Amino acid sequence: MTVTRSILITGAGAGIGRATARAFLAAGWEVTLLGRKPEALRETAGDQPARIVACDVGDPNQVAAAFAGLSRLDVLFNNAGISAPAAPIDEIPVDTWLEVSRTNITGMFLCARAAFGLMRRQSPQGGRIINNGSISAHVPRPGSTPYTMSKHAVTGLTRTLGLDGRAFNIACAQIDIGNALTDMAARFTKGVPQADGQIRVEPVMDVDHVARMVLHMASLPLEVNTPFVTIMARDMPYIGRG
């Protein structure tokens, strides 16, 4: 008998989260869509059966309630994240930093913590956590202090959970994405600042490539892991950035 596997996707109301959710729904997974806007989550699901959970990942009580409703979880795609307008650090309002870190760091921590606890205690034990990192987890864009700091923190989370999860049959991976064409990345097609001070258009890729990669990572047996995967538009200036 084929057992349906389950995944919870944060930030599932748009962009990478939406594309990934639709890929898992099409593949027959049991999918929980988590995000701040229920109407956007329902749009993601379309006519496919999915569990819709309105949740702010930066709120500990809301995250705890969201995961308490799950009897089992095979995979968490820890995807929710926000960016901020580019500026030198002394021109970035402290409130902007607090907002970015609340979602990109605290939110990642809270969801990973809840998933880890569930996977550790469920039977059979184990599962997989896939964190959405970024090319910025390796090298920054100009004026991106809050976002870059937050994505470096995600790498620390991935490495630690990858180590701590071994005792509980929990694998942890990170996907670092470069220039997937979403609403957030649309500006790349119009020109963005480069390390040398120029403004240039950057290549982008279809977001569905990311969704298929996450599906592949999630489908691996638990004795196999892809600790860090980079997927990017081939000609984006990542290798030469800086």
By CB neighbour count within 10 A (0-12 exposed, 13-18 middle, 19+ buried), where does 112 fall? buried
Distance CA 237, CA 242 (A): 9
Distance CA 157, CA 174 (A): 9
Global pTM value: 0.95
Percentage of the chain with pLDDT > 90?
84
**Torsion, Cα of 175, 80, 239, 183 (10° steps):** 120
Q: What pLDDT does residue 240 have? A: 63
Q: What is the pLDDT of residues 44-75, one digit of tens each?
A: 999 999 999 999 999 999 999 999 999 999 99
Q: What is the pLDDT of residues 184-193, one digit of tens each?
A: 788 888 988 8
| Catalytic residue check, 238 | no
Q: What pLDDT does residue 1 have? A: 57
Q: What pLDDT does residue 242 have? A: 47
Distance CA 208, CA 211 (A): 5
Is residue 210 within 8 A of residue 174, CB to CB? The reply is no
Residues of the chain with pLDDT under 70: 1-2, 240-242
- Evaluated on CA atoms 121, 126, 132, 134, the torsion sign reads positive
Beta bridge partners of 232: 178
Q: Which of 109, 147, 188, 238 is catalytic?
A: 147
